[in-house]
Chains A and B, each alone.
Chain A
Amino acid sequence: MLNYVWIMLILVSVLCAIWMGKLEELSEAVFSGAQQAVELVLAMAGAMAAWTGLLKAGEAAGLTKALSRLLRPLIRRLFPDCVPGGKAEQAICMNMTANLFGIGNAATPMGIAAMRALDEEGGGRGVSRSMVRFVVVNTASLQLFPATLGALRAAGGSANPFDILPAVWLVSALSLAVALLACFALEGRHV
């Protein structure tokens, strides 16, 4: 799937750039984009390592296990390939908590840890149903207090930056429900 998306992105860009007469900007964008990706990884490497380190220490202390017990009924239902009490269950739980509280630089490392653990628990056989569902949940926004958005609105002169929260929650819930339903409907055919 991503192969086709990538091909389309490139072809559409080149065709549009020819149409709009922006070929010079496009050639520049090829290398500046690649450069940006390296800078992005360098910029997040420290936070990433700090979070996976803290997560590991939390695991050693039994903290993540205690936390994941709270979300276990939900996780069990949504991600049936998790080994009960296993690493994947704990990482998924930490990822969801980080998403809810909007700790963006924690959610990704813990999500990656969860994908790795799901892969391990599945014996490296391939993409499991739970992995796809987990990624789909992460493509929806679970954040309760979108801090960056509030800051942007306040900077733009909003009288009440957070008055949109009920609407944000409703739309987030709708979008997550539709994404998950689409995933359930499609998963029989692919994975």
Chain B
Amino acid sequence: MSELSAWIVPAFAAMVAALCLLRRAPAFDAFTEGAREGLRSCVSLLPTLIGLVMAVSMLRASGALELACAALTPLARAFGLPPESLPLALMKPVSGSASTALLSQLFTQLSPDSFAGRVASVLAGSTETALYCIAVYFGAVGKRERTCALPAALAGHLAACLSAGWAVRLFLGA
């Protein structure tokens, strides 16, 4: 798989270049125009990201995660979610880098092939950082959103948390 994924980006770049040549499209002009737009979006994203990353880093430093995990452990057990994967389940919608750190930390304590290790892996692979995504996308068009995006995303995340333990048992046994 890694060999195949190494081909995707170069193939795409080559295809764009070849097609531009074939159709006599101004490739470099178009590229610089697109790059300018991309940089502009980056700058307009800064305030959104500063506000969000600041709040998330406060949450991480405050010890709130430990408190929430302690409170939710019985509930997680009831739904077949190993308590070891709770920090990841709670952190994933909020911060991608924090969840990657939590996952590799979990792998140093438990084997990735243990039940808890597998459930945590499935959770990490089947969910995204919803809060970041919502903030960035709505921030990019400068909309003050009063929408159902966050509740819908969290419903999806909850569905992933509740079904991860079951799915691991289904495909890999307990």
B121 contacts across to A, CB distance below 8 A: 149, 153, 164, 168
B8 contacts across to A, CB distance below 8 A: 101, 103
Residue of A48, A126, A140 with highest tally of chain B CB at under 10 A: A140
B137 contacts across to A, CB distance below 8 A: 111-112, 115, 131, 134-135, 138
Q: Contact: A38 with B55, CB < 8 Å?
A: no
The reply to whether the CB of B163 lies closer than 8 angstroms to some CB of chain A is yes
Q: Contact: B118 with A41, CB < 8 Å?
A: no
Q: Contact: B12 with A54, CB < 8 Å?
A: yes
Q: Contact: A146 with B125, CB < 8 Å?
A: yes
Interface residues of B in 12-37 (CB under 8 A from A): 12-13, 15-17, 19-20, 22-23, 25-28, 30-37
The reply to whether the CB of A33 lies closer than 8 angstroms to some CB of chain B is yes
Given A57-B25, A115-B141, A183-B63 contact (CB < 8 Å): no
Band of interface residues on A: 35 or more
Interface residues of A in 35-91 (CB under 8 A from B): 36-38, 40-41, 44-45, 48-63
Q: Contact: B66 with A20, CB < 8 Å?
A: yes
Residue of A30, A156, A159 with highest tally of chain B CB at under 10 A: A156
B64 contacts across to A, CB distance below 8 A: 12-13, 16
A146 contacts across to B, CB distance below 8 A: 124-125
CB distance from B128 to the nearest CB of A (A): 5
Q: Which of A2, A52, A115, A187 contacts B37 (CB 8 A)?
A: A52
B35 contacts across to A, CB distance below 8 A: 49-50, 52-53, 56
Q: Contact: A37 with B54, CB < 8 Å?
A: yes
A59 contacts across to B, CB distance below 8 A: 30, 34
Give the docked Cα–Cα distance between A102 and B126 (Å).
12
Q: Which of B19, B41, B159 contacts A178 (CB 8 A)?
A: B159
Given A56-B33, A61-B25, A63-B19, A26-B58 contact (CB < 8 Å): yes
Q: Which residue of B lies closest to A33 (CB)?
A: B57
B123 contacts across to A, CB distance below 8 A: 171
Known: A139-B130, A167-B164. 4 other contacts (CB 8 A): A52-B41, A147-B1, A164-B172, A178-B155
- Report which B residues bind A (CB closer than 8 A): 1-2, 5, 8-9, 12-13, 15-17, 19-20, 22-23, 25-28, 30-39, 41-43, 45-46, 49-64, 66-67, 93, 100, 103-104, 107-108, 111-113, 117-118, 121-128, 130-131, 133-138, 140-141, 143, 145-153, 155-160, 163-164, 167-168, 170-172
Sample of 13 A–B contacts (CB below 8 Å): A1-B145, A13-B61, A16-B67, A33-B58, A37-B50, A132-B147, A141-B126, A147-B1, A164-B121, A168-B126, A175-B156, A177-B159, A186-B151
- Report which A residues bind B (CB closer than 8 A): 1-2, 5-6, 9-10, 12-14, 16-17, 19-20, 22, 25-26, 28-30, 32-34, 36-38, 40-41, 44-45, 48-63, 101-103, 108-109, 111-113, 115-116, 118-119, 126-127, 131-132, 134-136, 138-141, 143, 145-150, 152-153, 155-172, 174-180, 182-183, 186-187, 189-191
